[in-house]
Amino acid sequence: MSSDIRRGTAEMTAAMLISGTIGWFVVMSGQPVSGVVFWRCLFGALTLLVICGALGLLRPGIITLRAFGIAVFGGVAIVLNWLLLFASYSHATISIATTVYNTQPFMLLVLGALVLGEKITATKLFWLTLSFAGMIAIVEAKPEAGGAASDGYGLGILMALGAAFFYALAALAAKWLKGTPPHLIALIQVATGMLMLAPMTDFSNPPQDAGRWAILVTVGVVHTGLMYVLLYGAIQRLPTHLTGALSFIYPIAAIVVDRLAFGHALQPMQIAGAAIILLAAAGMNLGWTPRWLRPRALES
């Protein structure tokens, strides 16, 4: 294994583990979802501003006006994604929300076909159908009576699906920004979010203790600034199939954190649905082709 692969694997693993813990930080912050996202954007922007400055990415002419506009569009989408995902935690638990959120590759598949004219092959359609079956299993599952997810369970799932859709929009915008420094894109995105959410943030009722401030700073600096640096560093060093495989650390870590921190155990039908969705997403990301579809795939 080359040093680049080892370093990229360590960076991707760290990025996914960090992502898997964000649900705990959001819940423990005690802030409204819009407030959590605003402070995430603010502290994340400050962190990324320092990083971009150190990398020489703030000089004039490094980004075109068109690319800037696309990055802003991606910023709006990514912030709406955060708002919906964080809001879904209180309805469907962190475990279920994160698993449903991992339908994002299929959202991107459909958007790519509609917007970019990309072909949906029989293999991709199979994984899409399997993912939908997993979604049905989760929707039909009955959360624990009186548990944190018993009220608004369906709403939480819809929010997580909405978050996946907006993430796919942000990923689509990123496809149009090839060649633009990714750390600069991230800075534009969080700065956009900061401006979006400032009017609806209640500055008269900030966190009242150092612990909650520490949580918000961590979400901005670690879960946004540092995570972006690790993620982009890994993407640059790893082959696509390894990046896709390591990305599944995120939902698994989120499920473990949810179980240990809040005692939320998945019900049998939820476990089955989650496993089906993660299997479908793995097949999609890693390019697996079921044996009975291989001749058809070769003909196309």
| 33-48 tens-digit pLDDT | 999 999 999 999 999 9
Q: For residue range 58-73, what is the model confidence (pLDDT) as tens digits?
A: 998 899 999 999 999 9
- Cα 129 → chain centroid: 21
191 part of a folded domain: yes
41 part of a folded domain: yes
Position 299 confidence tier, pLDDT thresholds 50, 70, 90: very low
259 part of a folded domain: yes
257 part of a folded domain: yes
Across all residues in the chain, what is the average pLDDT?
88
- pLDDT of 145 reads 46
Q: For residue range 245-276, what is the model confidence (pLDDT) as tens digits?
A: 888 899 999 999 999 999 988 888 889 999 99
Mean pLDDT value across residues 231-257: 85
223 part of a folded domain: yes
- pLDDT of 228 reads 86
17 part of a folded domain: yes
Which carries the bigger pLDDT value, residue 130 or residue 294? 130
97 part of a folded domain: yes
Q: Which domain holds residue 147?
A: 3-290
Which carries the bigger pLDDT value, residue 62 or residue 175? 62
165 part of a folded domain: yes
| Residue 61, φ and ψ in degrees, nearest 5 | 85, 0
Total structural domains in the chain?
Answer: 1
Q: Above 90 in pLDDT, residue 79? A: yes
- pLDDT of 146 reads 46
